Amino acid sequence: MENKLKYGMIGGGTGSFIGPVHRMAAELDGMAQLVCGAFSSDPGRSSASGKELGLDPARIYPDFRTMITSERELPEESRMDFVVIVTPNHLHYEPARIALENGFHVVCDKPLTRTLQEAVALGETVKKSGLLFALTHTYTGYPMVKKARELVRSGALGRIHKVMVTYLQGWLSSYPEGSGQKQALWRTDPRYTGKTSTMGDIGTHAENLISYVSGLKIQEISAQLNTLIKERKMDDDGSVMLRYEDGVAGAILVSQVATGEENNVTLRIYGEKGGLEWNQMEPNSLIVRWEEGPMEVYRTGVSVRSITGGYDPGNRLPSGHPEGFIEAFANIYKQFEQALLDRKAGKSPPPHGYDFPTVEDGIQGMKFLEKVVESSRSEKKWITFT
């Protein structure tokens, strides 16, 4: 415990989805330990969740404001180092802002905030604070996505022609919010989720995945948001066509009413010399098809032992021992925690920097959502992105 980083969690109470995943990921490499939390909007439920996690009752807080101000008062050696925010989207901005203003580093889940204005303001707060801020765009943590990035950025595929992500889920193809399913309720209500539902929930991952792998900047956008379940208040499906710099064509197709689909994220990128395909349901393989020569399949742990530039390829096990979602999440944490440990030890960052999504990625995601909504309401076929 002595050398471990200490973190507090906001949200992630009993029965929540992603909070427990964050706890596993944050602690997978033995670099951090949960010391406090405000796990629910209800103090009684927060207390019950904290007790289940074995926390000191004095550090299970009734709300996030009390948690941040109380932790601030503790001696440096026992107070938390960073805050993890895993609440619904409308409760990202305020806890993140208050945490940063009180000197705590932040890990926050996506989308960054509920509105673009909040995102821009949070970017300013991060800058002013000089503190670390990670945004958990999970898919950037997969070893094979890192390999895809290397192949694209090293020029191995040649000039890029086409980039696309399809992200298909089926869990909203019935009407779960009608029967009070918690995760569906807040995700389909603009007061909690923001201007878009499905596009914000999974479309931001798709946009970030293309951006992480290719580094390309969006120039123009043409989007359509659909609501297939007639009782639903917001989008549950969407298609976005994109024009990236240098005329690269892009497409993002997302749906949460793709009946039977689980979490089918597929990235495809095609260049003049070859194309690649990665699917998160088979995350330890990366298919590369060459214009000349046979198709190749890269595999985690066998064909990828290092990544150009000194980046960690992100696998922990020998080949043939599948790694997945938790490990991808943990790769984001590992980079963030290493950055924080280095900072505490007065070490300078490695030459290639640290490899985790930042507040800037979050602002880009919120801008993407803003433009998707604008385009889907516009008469014009294309609108500019800048």
Considering only 110, 146, 334, 371, the residue that binds ligand NAD (CB under 6 A) is 110
Decide if residue 40 touches ligand NAD (CB under 6 A): yes
Amino acid code (one letter) for 217: K
Tokens of 141: 């943590």
Could you check whether the bond before residue 20 is cis, i.e. omega within 30 degrees of 0? Answer: no
Decide if residue 91 touches ligand NAD (CB under 6 A): yes
Considering only 7, 55, 98, 109, the residue that binds ligand NAD (CB under 6 A) is 109
Sole window of 34-42, 69-77, 244-252, 292-300 interacting with ligand NAD (rule: CB under 6 A): 34-42
Q: What's the distance, Cα to Cα, between the start and end of the chain in Å? A: 47
Decide if residue 13 touches ligand NAD (CB under 6 A): yes
How many residues in the shown chain lie near ligand NAD by CB under 6 A? 25
SS3 category, 311: strand
Q: Which of 282, 314, 287 is nearest to 301 (CA)?
A: 314
Nearer to ligand NAD, 19 or 50 (CB): 19
SS3 category, 136: coil
Interactions with ligand NAD, residue window 59-78 (CB under 6 A):
64
Residues β-bridged to residue 26: none
Nearer to ligand NAD, 245 or 262 (CB): 262
Whether 365 and 208 have beta carbons less than 8 Å apart is answered as yes
SS3 category, 334: helix
CB of residue 136 to ligand NAD, shortest distance in Å? 5
Nearer to ligand NAD, 134 or 248 (CB): 134
Decide if residue 86 touches ligand NAD (CB under 6 A): yes
Show Cβ contacts of residue 293 under 8 Å, excluding neighbours closer than 6 positions: none
Nearer to ligand NAD, 129 or 138 (CB): 138
Whether 55 and 43 have beta carbons less than 8 Å apart is answered as no
Sole window of 88-96, 126-134, 159-167, 207-215 interacting with ligand NAD (rule: CB under 6 A): 88-96
- C-alpha to C-alpha distance for 117 and 369, rounded to whole angstroms: 12
Decide if residue 366 touches ligand NAD (CB under 6 A): no
Annotate each residue in 127-156 with x if it binds ligand NAD (CB under 6 A) or - if it does not, as one string.
Answer: ---------x-x------------------
Q: Which of 145, 126, 111 is nearest to 307 (CA)?
A: 145
Amino acid code (one letter) for 101: E
Nearer to ligand NAD, 16 or 125 (CB): 16
Nearer to ligand NAD, 100 or 248 (CB): 100
E strand intervals along 32-182: 32-38, 82-86, 105-108, 133-135, 160-168
Interactions with ligand NAD, residue window 164-223 (CB under 6 A):
182-183, 201
Nearer to ligand NAD, 72 or 343 (CB): 72
Decide if residue 84 touches ligand NAD (CB under 6 A): no
CB of residue 339 to ligand NAD, shortest distance in Å? 19
Residue 170 burial (CB count, 10 A): 16
- Mind giving me the DSSP string for 345-362? TTPPPPTT---S--HHHH
SS3 category, 174: coil
Whether 236 and 172 have beta carbons less than 8 Å apart is answered as yes
Decide if residue 18 touches ligand NAD (CB under 6 A): yes
CB of residue 154 to ligand NAD, shortest distance in Å? 28
Whether 310 and 150 have beta carbons less than 8 Å apart is answered as no
Containing H/E element for 238? strand 237-244
Tokens of 16: 């929540």
Considering only 4, 28, 29, 41, the residue that binds ligand NAD (CB under 6 A) is 41
Nearer to ligand NAD, 98 or 288 (CB): 98
Nearer to ligand NAD, 146 or 248 (CB): 146
Considering only 16, 115, 280, 284, the residue that binds ligand NAD (CB under 6 A) is 16
Binding site for ligand NAD (CB under 6 A): 10-13, 16-19, 38-41, 64, 86-89, 91, 109-110, 136, 138, 182-183, 201
